């Protein structure tokens, strides 16, 4: 977290200067030594002798690491990358050598590189120096502190959602996630409430730390049955935490939470700032119905987190106003209908179908049954084609992937299910989406599907995309900037 110099809001070009300044402030507050250097440079003091020892560090930076990286990525990429980096380092070297303000101003990224290198050398940030007390670890220890409420409890009942960070969070906090598989109802994957109930009885309610449910998720999974889960939690006197990752933007998800709390127990629900408020990744909101409980969590605040995510949301909300935010939400809903229609007709044009997932208000899924063949090659290739064509967010889910996280193996990983009947493709209508996004995505998707079909017809499914294909992709991405 320290000196991270978040590569984040480089995209928020509208407020380049304040953005940059706030990041400086972030670094400043994190590092007293750095503060000193920062003002030193800002005030154009002519000699930077104090930086003498770091010359060496900047000079031979990373050669070895670049060559190590060549084992992972092709060497031409590494060459490009290291050249790009070297041009920044060159400027830094000049500054250290000459000890005076550069004639030509630096780009923001060079300044950031320099600042982050300095921040890394700050004693506060020495890796070996970081006790448990100083970093994110505190958030985890906040959870540990909650053990006091249920001293014996160590199981977290978790209706399966294939999102690694949820799972890792529970493991990191020192608990044992108990994965409850979903049930297939029509095309939809829905909460197996009975299985949760059975697990509670099997483990003993007093051993269950909480039920950890999810609202917003990729179709064909649907938001968990919050009413039933909440009622179950209240019956067994078990806390209930809801992962509402991008659910704030959907009235349906928010309604589910409200209902859950009305008929049963929801202790807290958590949502990401970036996904709901169009700010850079970084913060989250913890909310609940019992003010004291939220206050208790709030008191766990370790005291050194960055204020920047809060500031971003404040600025955004002030900029939009309540009416602006509501307008975005209703536009999103409208685009969900548009996307539904467009995907539906695209699917039928290609002999596929839009999976029927009426309980998922944000994400949609289109079958790729015709691309399955003997293996997932075509399906996987579609994924990489879409990536090349810069269709971001459209994710392709082949069957039978396996993933082991912290000792637990998820069969059918990414599909929230051990054996979903067909491979599929996801697209979502999330806040900020525009008609252009939908139109372009459908157009490119259509092209990709046609190309794959042609390939299959030529009876050579193993053929990699031709150079023609690459060329088209490049042209597409060029015309995307409009
Ligand atoms: C994005 C997401 C997360 C992780 O959210 P962060 O804001 O990155 O912590 C967890 N669960 C679901 C369902 C998500 O979509
Ligand atoms: C490569 O990275 C390692 C670990 O980050 C570091 O110790 C080493 O000095 C780096 N190599 C060079 C040449 O900078």
Which tens digits make up the pLDDT trace of 171-219? 999 999 999 999 999 999 999 999 999 999 999 999 999 999 999 999 9
CB 168 within 8 A of CB 161: no
Q: Please, which residues have CB within 8 angstroms of residue 185's CB and are 6 or more apart in sequence?
A: none
State the fold for domain 155-311: 3.40.640
Residue 142 — very low, low, confident or very high, per pLDDT cuts 50/70/90?
Answer: very low
- 166 CB within 6 A, ligand 1: yes
Residue 3 — very low, low, confident or very high, per pLDDT cuts 50/70/90?
Answer: very low
- 284 CB within 6 A, ligand 1: yes
Q: Which atom of ligand 2 is nearest to the CA of 57?
A: 14
Binding residues: 135, 262, 304, 389, 454
* 9 C-alpha to ligand 2 centroid (Å): 28
Give the residue-averaged pLDDT of 160-167: 95
Look at 100-114, 130-144, 411-425, 441-455 and tell me which has the smallest mean pLDDT: 130-144
* 272 C-alpha to ligand 1 centroid (Å): 7
Domains in the chain: boundaries? 11-125, 155-311, 320-479
**Mutate which of 64, 82, 125 for ligand 2 pocket (most atoms within 8 A of beta carbon):** 64
Q: Please, which residues have CB within 8 angstroms of residue 220's CB and are 6 or more apart in sequence?
A: 187, 188, 189, 355, 357, 360, 365, 416, 420, 424
User: What tens digit of pLDDT does each residue of 292-339 get?
Assistant: 999 998 888 877 778 788 877 877 878 777 788 999 999 999 999 999
* 217 C-alpha to ligand 1 centroid (Å): 9
Does domain 320-479 fall into CATH 3.90.1150.10?
yes
Q: Which atom of ligand 2 is nearest to the CA of 68?
A: 1
How much is the CA Rg of the chain, to the nearest whole Å? Answer: 25
Q: Which atom of ligand 2 is nearest to the CA of 61?
A: 14
**Mutate which of 275, 283, 305, 360 for ligand 1 pocket (most atoms within 8 A of beta carbon):** 275
Strand, coil or helix: 362: coil
| CA nearest to 193, candidates 155, 243, 157 | 157
- 379 CB within 6 A, ligand 1: no
Residue whose Cα lies nearest atom 9 of ligand 1: it is: 272
How far is Cα 261 from Cα 481, in angstroms, rounded to an integer?
45
Give the residue-averaged pLDDT of 37-48: 35
């Amino acid at each position: 977290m320290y000196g991270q110099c978040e590569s984040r809001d480089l995209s928020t070009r509208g407020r380049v200067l304040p953005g940059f300044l706030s990041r400086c402030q972030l670094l400043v507050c994190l590092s007293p030594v750095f503060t000193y250097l920062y003002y030193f440079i800002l005030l154009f003091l002519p000699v930077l002798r104090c930086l003498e020892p770091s010359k060496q560090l900047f000079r031979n930076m990373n050669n070895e690491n670049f060559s190590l990286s060549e084992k992972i990525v092709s060497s031409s990429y590494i060459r490009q990358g290291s050249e790009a980096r070297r041009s920044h380092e060159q400027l830094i070297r000049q500054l250290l050598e000459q000890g005076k303000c550069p004639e030509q101003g630096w780009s923001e990224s060079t300044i950031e590189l320099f600042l982050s290198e300095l921040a890394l050398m700050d004693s506060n940030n020495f890796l070996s120096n970081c006790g448990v007390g100083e970093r994110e670890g505190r958030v985890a220890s906040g959870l540990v502190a909650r053990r006091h409420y249920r001293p014996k409890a160590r199981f977290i009942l978790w209706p399966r959602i294939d999102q690694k960070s949820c799972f890792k969070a529970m493991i990191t906090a020192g608990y044992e996630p108990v994965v409850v598989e979903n049930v297939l109802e029509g095309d939809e994957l829905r909460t197996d409430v009975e299985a949760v109930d059975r697990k509670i009885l099997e483990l003993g309610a007093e051993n269950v730390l909480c039920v950890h449910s999810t609202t917003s998720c990729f179709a064909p999974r649907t938001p968990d049955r919050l009413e039933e889960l909440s009622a179950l939690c209240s019956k067994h006197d078990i806390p209930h935490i809801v992962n509402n990752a991008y659910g704030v933007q959907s009235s349906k998800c928010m309604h589910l939470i409200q209902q859950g709390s009305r008929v049963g127990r929801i202790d807290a629900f958590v949502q990401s700032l970036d996904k709901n408020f169009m700010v850079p990744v970084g913060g989250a909101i913890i909310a609940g119905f019992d003010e004291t409980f939220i206050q208790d969590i709030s008191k766990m605040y370790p005291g050194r987190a960055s204020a920047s995510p809060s500031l971003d949301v404040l600025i955004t909300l002030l900029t939009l106003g309540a009416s602006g935010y509501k307008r975005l939400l209703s536009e999103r809903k409208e685009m969900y209908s548009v996307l539904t229609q467009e995907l539906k007709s695209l699917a039928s044009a290609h002999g596929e179908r839009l999976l029927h997932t009426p309980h998922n208000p944000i994400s949609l899924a289109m079958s790729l049954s015709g691309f399955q063949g003997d293996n997932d090659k075509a399906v996987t290739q579609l994924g990489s084609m879409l990536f090349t064509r810069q269709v971001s967010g459209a994710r392709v889910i082949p069957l039978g992937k396996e993933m082991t996280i912290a000792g637990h193996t998820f069969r059918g990983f990414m599909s929230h299910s051990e054996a979903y009947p067909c491979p599929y493709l996801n697209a979502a209508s999330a806040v900020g989406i525009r008609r252009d996004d939908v139109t372009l995505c459908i157009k490119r998707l259509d092209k990709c599907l046609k190309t794959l079909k042609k390939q299959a017809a030529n009876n050579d499914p193993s053929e990699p995309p031709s150079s023609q294909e690459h060329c088209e992709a490049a042209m597409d991405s060029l015309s995307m900037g409009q």
